[in-house]
């Protein structure tokens, strides 16, 4: 335990440097900025984004003494074989940032790593789940290893993962052999062995294959009816969901870990980009300030500014999530009879929905719709890629509004960030993008 205590006693504080990168402001991207990301860049040069980190005025610093933590010795998972991915997870879930990156990067990576660990171990054990005793030891060991590398100490709460999530839960199939007898494995591999990160979210090729396989194995515990047919309607969603985990673990056992991670994170992105993860408080104060055809613009925009400042303390968002949040908030305001475009009037931009660095102006950061992992560098700390455009006004929902995550490619919503690559092809306008790199510098005070 001492190595953790040692680490915890370091008083950490956060300096956020938001660096404007001038030469990027003159760069025009013909294609979507998201296309620069390695995953979806066929030819481009995906590398130049991270090295833009500014030099730290406070270097050097070390995260922690990475001595091996004391493990239970009772976990059957092979953590050593996955040490690179586990280090990446620790950085994605780094101490104070974990809650702010939970939804977009940390938890998707945390969960994917667990799925891959179990999948890889099934090659030996032939089991796609852990029993509850072993699950407890394994999750605790997993946590310890991550914490030893700087991860937050409450990841189980932050990501709502417990030992039961490592078991088969209510899924009736947990053995590799049983699984392979019941599902069309070549179909899963054909559809999920490699996914098209941009189109998967709309076409759901892999997601459908996984659901189908989950239904196949979920149905095993159900009786055949008089006609000798299975009755899938009898199978509860809970069982199907639990079986989806089994399918994912099986898939992760058939793929290289890095490929498996790409697939799992890609699937997670589809879900997270469909929602607005922010808690939107009651809009009455804004409705009061902005009602009656907005008699007093100052009080309207003050109310709006105060409202968004609450949102800005919550979480980092992807650009698509920010669009969803703008739509949700707009609809709430419209329900309160605010008919005119308050976003326009008060110059609310997409960036305003993002977490803001304390006390700094224009210091929001929207992540790309396919957020990449955070990186760590001993001189500059933890950094991640922001995909930011100051000048994109938040779109006010129109009556014929189609949500941002809509896959209808014929819909054209004006003034949306071209970076919304989940809806690639939607926006043909050439949009100038500014890129910020936020370098979070953690300084250990002794
Ligand atoms: C890490 O800690 C262990 C014991 O706590 C110590 O023996 C070792 O020298 C330390 N390593 C570094 C690089 O500080
Ligand atoms: C871990 O996250 C929690 C929020 O869930 C936060 O309160 C805590 O400070 C973080 N721990 C560390 C060591 O940063
Ligand atoms: C879990 O598996 C281990 C080893 O296979 C076994 O010793 C233990 O009894 C099992 N525990 C339960 C609750 O089934
Ligand atoms: C873990 O299991 C609990 C209870 O079954 C469930 O509510 C929760 O959503 C699961 N978490 C994940 C990440 O699947
Ligand atoms: C399995 O799926 C493949 C591809 O989708 C299909 O061609 C094949 O007929 C299926 N096999 C069975 C036994 O259904
Ligand atoms: C608008 O409201 C502000 C305070 O909210 C007040 O100071 C200002 O005088 C008002 N302006 C008009 C034109 O009523
Ligand atoms: C909105 O306006 C309608 C019609 O003028 C009215 O009936 C309704 O009560 C108003 N709703 C709110 C929340 O003010
Ligand atoms: C897509 O949106 C357009 C314009 O709103 C509409 O005419 C068309 O029917 C939609 N297509 C689908 C498949 O929903």
Q: Residue written as tokens 């953790």?
A: 4
Mean pLDDT by 10 residues, the chain (446 residues): 30 26 25 28 27 30 60 94 96 91 96 98 97 97 94 97 97 96 97 92 94 92 62 75 98 98 96 94 92 81 94 90 92 92 92 74 76 82 71 78 56 43 28 30 26
Looking at the 3D structure of the chain, how many domains does it have?
1
β-sheet bridge partners, residue 437: 19, 385
> Which atom, in ligand 4's list, is nearest to the CA of 111?
13
The answer to the question of residue 294 being in a domain is: yes
Hey, whose CA ends up nearest to atom 1 of ligand 4?
A: 165
Q: What is the pTM of this model?
A: 0.79
296 lines ligand 6 (CB under 6 A): yes
Hey, whose CA ends up nearest to atom 12 of ligand 5?
A: 184
The answer to the question of residue 291 being in a domain is: yes
DSSP string covering 196-226, please?
A: -TTTHHHH-HHHHHHHHHHHHHHGGGSPB-T
116 burial level (CB within 10 Å; 0-12, 13-18, 19+)? buried
**C-beta separation of 115 from 77 below 8 A:** no
CA of 296 to the centre of ligand 6 (A): 6
Output the pLDDT for position 12.
Answer: 25
**C-beta separation of 213 from 188 below 8 A:** yes
The answer to the question of residue 192 being in a domain is: no
3 state SS of 49: helix
- Our mutation pick for probing the ligand 2 site, out of 5, 13, 152, 158, counting the most ligand atoms within 8 A of Cβ, is 152
Return the ligand number nearest the Cα of 184: 5
The answer to the question of residue 314 being in a domain is: yes
65 lines ligand 1 (CB under 6 A): yes
> Which atom, in ligand 6's list, is nearest to the CA of 297?
1
The answer to the question of residue 142 being in a domain is: no
- Our mutation pick for probing the ligand 3 site, out of 133, 166, 175, counting the most ligand atoms within 8 A of Cβ, is 133
Range of the domain at 388: 28-51+277-445
CA of 214 to the centre of ligand 5 (A): 16
Hey, whose CA ends up nearest to atom 2 of ligand 4?
A: 165
3 state SS of 104: helix
76 lines ligand 3 (CB under 6 A): no
Q: Is the peptide bond before 60 cis (omega within 30 degrees of 0)?
A: yes
The answer to the question of residue 322 being in a domain is: yes
The answer to the question of residue 135 being in a domain is: no
CA of 338 to the centre of ligand 2 (A): 38
Scanning 336-418, the segments in alpha helix (DSSP H) are 342-345
Would you state the structure tokens that stand for residue 238, as one six-digit string? 């809970």
**C-beta separation of 249 from 122 below 8 A:** yes
Q: For residue 354, what is the DSSP state?
A: S
The answer to the question of residue 47 being in a domain is: yes
């Amino acid at each position: 335990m001492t190595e953790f205590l040692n680490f915890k006693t370091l008083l950490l504080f956060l300096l956020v440097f938001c660096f404007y990168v001038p030469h990027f402001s003159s760069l025009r991207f013909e294609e979507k900025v998201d296309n620069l990301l390695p995953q979806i860049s066929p030819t481009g040069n995906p590398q130049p984004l991270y090295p833009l980190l500014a030099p730290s005025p406070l270097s050097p610093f070390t995260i922690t003494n990475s001595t091996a933590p004391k493990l239970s010795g009772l976990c059957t998972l092979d953590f050593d074989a996955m040490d690179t991915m586990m280090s990446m997870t620790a950085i994605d879930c780094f101490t104070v940032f974990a809650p702010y990156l939970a939804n977009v990067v940390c938890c998707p990576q945390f969960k994917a790593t667990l799925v891959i660990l179990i999948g890889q171990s099934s090659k030996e054990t032939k089991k796609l789940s852990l029993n509850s005793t072993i699950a407890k030891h394994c999750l605790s060991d997993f946590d310890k290893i991550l914490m030893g590398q700087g991860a937050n100490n409450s990841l189980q709460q932050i990501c709502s993962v417990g030992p039961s999530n490592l078991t088969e839960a209510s899924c009736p199939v947990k053995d590799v052999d049983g699984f392979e007898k019941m599902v069309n494995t070549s179909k899963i591999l054909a559809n999920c062995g490699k996914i098209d990160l941009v189109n998967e979210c709309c076409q759901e090729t892999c997601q459908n294959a996984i659901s189908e396989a989950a239904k196949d194995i979920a149905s095993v515990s159900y009786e055949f009816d008089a006609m000798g047919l299975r009755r899938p309607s009898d199978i509860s969603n809970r069982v199907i969901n639990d079986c989806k985990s089994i399918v994912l673990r099986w898939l992760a056992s058939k793929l290289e870990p890095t490929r498996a991670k790409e697939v799992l994170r890609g699937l997670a992105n589809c879900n997270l980009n469909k929602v607005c993860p922010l808690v939107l408080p009651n809009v009455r104060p804004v409705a009061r300030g902005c009602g009656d055809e907005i008699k007093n613009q100052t009080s309207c925009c003050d109310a709006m500014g105060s409202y968004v400042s609450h949102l800005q303390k919550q979480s980092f968002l992807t650009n698509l999530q920010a669009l969803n949040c703008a739509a949700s908030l707009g609809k709430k305001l419209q329900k309160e009879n605010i008919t005119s475009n308050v976003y326009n009037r008060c110059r609310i931009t997409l960036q305003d929905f993002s977490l803001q660095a304390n006390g700094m102006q224009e210091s929001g950061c929207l992540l790309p719709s396919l957020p990449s992992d955070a990186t760590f560098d001993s001189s500059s700390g933890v950094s991640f890629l922001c995909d930011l455009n100051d000048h994109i006004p938040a779109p006010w929902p129109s009556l014929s509004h189609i949500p941002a995550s809509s896959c209808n490619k014929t819909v054209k919503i004006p003034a949306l960030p071209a970076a919304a690559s989940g809806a690639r092809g939607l926006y043909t306008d050439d949009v100038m993008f500014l890129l910020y790199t936020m370098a979070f510098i953690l300084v250990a005070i002794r």
